[in-house]
Amino acid sequence: MKDKLSRFGVSLEGELLRRFDAFISKEGYSNRSQAIAGLIRKEFVSDAFEHGGQVAGAVTIVYDHHKREVVNKLLDIQHDHGTIIISAQHVHLDHDNCLEIVAVKGPGAKVKALADSLKSVKGVKHATLSVTGAGK
């Protein structure tokens, strides 16, 4: 069920508003209301990280599967965090490199701990965590 929209007035200095409008067109928001809502949600997501609220997102890692033990270690870590992993997709990028996208949902602190563990495995070349609110 969708909440009814409420309107409220916002007063900003001219320079700040010009920068905000430039930000809106750069980020592809269709209007100021949508941009403000996006910024507020983003702030709530970082708050959820700090206070244990629910987040959803993806950990993306790139690694060389020839490196000793890297595949086993990545699998061990994922099995240890099974409760927050929704799915994992594996892509064989080229002869050496694999890309893995691990979809996650759960308490912010646990999601971050999983991303940090995967990132710290020797042989992992890139790791990013991207999260959003868990739909609330």
- Applying CB under 5 A, which residues contact Ni ion? 92, 98
Q: How far is the CB of 76 from Ni ion (least distance, A)?
A: 17
| Nearer residue to Ni ion within complex by CB, 103 or 134 | 103
Q: How far is the CB of 64 from Ni ion (least distance, A)?
A: 10
| Nearer residue to Ni ion within complex by CB, 42 or 92 | 92
Q: Nearest to Ni ion by Cβ — which residue?
A: 98
| Nearer residue to Ni ion within complex by CB, 32 or 65 | 65
Q: How far is the CB of 90 from Ni ion (least distance, A)?
A: 6
Q: How far is the CB of 60 from Ni ion (least distance, A)?
A: 14
* Rounded CA separation 111/133 (Å): 12
* Rounded CA separation 19/5 (Å): 26
| Longest Cα–Cα distance in the chain | 59
Question: Cβ contacts of residue 43 below 8 Å, gap of 6+?
Answer: none
Question: Cβ contacts of residue 104 below 8 Å, gap of 6+?
Answer: 55, 56, 57, 58, 59, 84, 85, 86, 111, 114, 115, 131
| Nearer residue to Ni ion within complex by CB, 40 or 101 | 101
